[in-house]
Amino acid sequence: MAAQFGRRVVKGAATTAVAAVAVAALSASQAPGVTDTSKGRQSAGSTPSPDADADKSATGNSPYYTDLPPLNSPTPSPSTGTGTPTGTGEAEAGIPATVLDAYKKAEASLGDSKPGCNLPWELLAAIGKVESGQARGGRVNANGTTITPILGPVLNGNGFANITDTDGGAYDGDTAHDRAVGPMQFIPSTWAWSGRDGNGDGKKDPNNIYDAALAAGHYLCRYNWDLSDQADLRRAILSYNNSTDYLNTVLSWLEYYRKGTHEVPDGTGTLPSGRSDDNAGSSPSPTPTPPSTRPGSPTPGGGSTSPTPKPPTTTPPPSTPPTSPSPTPTDTVDHLEDAGTAKLTATAGDAFAEKIATRTETRAGTAVAKVRVRFTIVGDTDAAFTGGESVATVVTNSAGVATAPALQAGEKTGDFTVRATVVGRAVSGLDYAATVTARQADALARTSDTALTCVAGSEFADQVEIKATYKGAAADGVAATATLIKAADDATANDKGPYFKDADGKTVRTLAGLKTDANGLLKLPKLYADDTAGTFLLRINTTGGATLTVELTVTAAAATASPSPSAS
């Protein structure tokens, strides 16, 4: 949905034609499950049932701006017909400077973190246009935060989805129901897991265009979608707001912006006017109809009065009391139960072998199907579900079981929690403990059998290189320590013999913080020998208990011959 400003108009045939041409230029294919008429409109209502998976979309399926671009970009194009004004090409092609910068920075960031997504900044611009008119024409401050909050309508079921409050009013100021927030119109429950810090200020603010644009990019790139593929592009847009008209409108602006845009000063961008709820008849604050003159009241300007009506002579039959609506499956859930989840442990960088399974049950213990269960990763961890997200929503199957996507361990080791909750139902959550252990090796071996020798006071010609393996496979990223020890049964660091040098050239005989490379290899720095001859030991230890002791030999320097005394 977009901010509520500007006049309301009725969409006409001209705007439909513009959308049809733009969408046809982009692709003739259609997303799975979408049925369009020949005019590019959804055949049975452009907007789905307001509550249909609304809390799974970015916007809660809130209303949006329906203005369409000129047919040619950026050449000025006069409006035709009686539809939503399209504006001139020069004006419509202008994007406020800070807003444009945010879109391009988000594209660059996703290009690094998710290169396979192929996110174009023009897609973010198209969504930003449709959702908020590019942050109300670029009314943002120097940091990218909107001058005033941009809020969608109250999602209380009055013509829109019915989403009860999920954020305590923290983002939208409403403690009863949620509202879409900010220039990219995220509902609070979606922002809770998809929010990003796009401007590096340490905050995730849906009212900041840098944060919101980066979050929108990640949202569109989840599920490993490739946005250069038309089917994936359509799926991603429909996941943002599940409406075919919304899809067509965004695609129209995407195609338009791809033809060329230019930067305009903040606060000077064009403002849209038409909204998708213009004809919904569900304004949050309808204008009441003035009451008619009451019977028996004086007519304006005097005159006769209406006679007092007589009471009925017969008692009308009692009206049939309204029937209560049948409870939804979600309404019947009393508690959550674990459905056989095994211990959750994985090595850093690896996938967890087990998946979390949760069952929804009634008070009597009966399983409940078709209930949305939200799994949220909680704690100081970089573990994520498949696709890189920290939240996943899954619908229970016929056995009442929701199985979370596979967990992928990050590089942070330690414990964290995955919390299962019921979407739209206030029942106690169910916590699952998970652990990420450090990468480890169970065997070490030198990559060369060359003897390591040198003369006292010089340096070793060869560096020590070892390969770490775990269960026969190369063990990458394994932490290691190398120490020149006193004896095989005394792991204390030696105070004489071979040594390494630190960055300042000082003598050190213990190296910590070492890690094997992607192939499990570790090459130690150059070794030096002091003036002590003998056999010495270098011991290398890794996480996981692998140990290797390497023998070093230092020979005495050759004696220098003394000159013979001269004859007297």
Query: H-helix or E-strand containing 420?
Result: strand 414-422
* Residue 15 confidence (pLDDT): 44
Show the tokens assigned to 519. 């192939």
Beta partners for residue 538, in sequence order:
484, 550
User: Running DSSP on this structure, what letter comes out for residue 41?
Assistant: S
Evaluate whether 106 touches 199 at the Cβ level (below 8 Å). Answer: no
Give the Cβ contact number of residue 443 at 10 Å: 18
User: Running DSSP on this structure, what letter comes out for residue 473?
Assistant: E
Q: Which of 362, 126, 354, 370 is nearest to 258 (CA)?
A: 126
Q: Which of 101, 155, 110 is nearest to 284 (CA)?
A: 155
What is the C-alpha to C-alpha distance for residues 418 and 338, in angstroms, rounded to an integer? 12
CA distances from 174 to 217, 328, 422 (A): 26, 25, 21
Query: H-helix or E-strand containing 391?
Result: strand 391-395
Tens of pLDDT along 516-535?
999 999 999 999 999 999 99
Tens of pLDDT along 439-453?
999 999 999 999 999
Q: First vs last Cα of the chain: how many Å apart? A: 112
Q: Which of 192, 203, 163 is nearest to 179 (CA)?
A: 163
Tens of pLDDT along 19-64?
444 444 444 333 333 323 222 323 333 333 334 455 567 887 788 9
Beta partners for residue 371, in sequence order:
none
Tens of pLDDT along 111-145?
998 888 999 999 999 999 999 999 999 999 999 99
Query: H-helix or E-strand containing 89?
Result: helix 89-92
Cα-flanking dihedrals φ and ψ of residue 211, to 5°?
A: -65, -45
Cα-flanking dihedrals φ and ψ of residue 116, to 5°?
A: -70, -10
| pLDDT reading at 73 higher than 70 | no
| pLDDT reading at 473 higher than 50 | yes
- Average pLDDT of the residues of the chain: 82
* Residue 275 confidence (pLDDT): 81
* Residue 52 confidence (pLDDT): 43
To 5 degrees, how large is the angle CA 316–CA 321–CA 327?
A: 170
CA distances from 438 to 85, 161, 471, 542, 545 (A): 60, 45, 15, 10, 12
Tens of pLDDT along 349-397?
999 999 999 999 999 999 999 998 989 999 999 999 987 888 888 889 9
Show the tokens assigned to 474. 């190369």
* Residue 105 confidence (pLDDT): 97
What is the C-alpha to C-alpha distance for residues 135 and 129, in angstroms, rounded to an integer? 8
**What band does 315 get if pLDDT is binned at 50, 70 and 90?**
low
Show the tokens assigned to 163. 């989403």
Distance of CA 264 to the CA centre of its chain: 29
Question: How many helices and strands (H and E) does the chain possess?
Answer: 8, 24
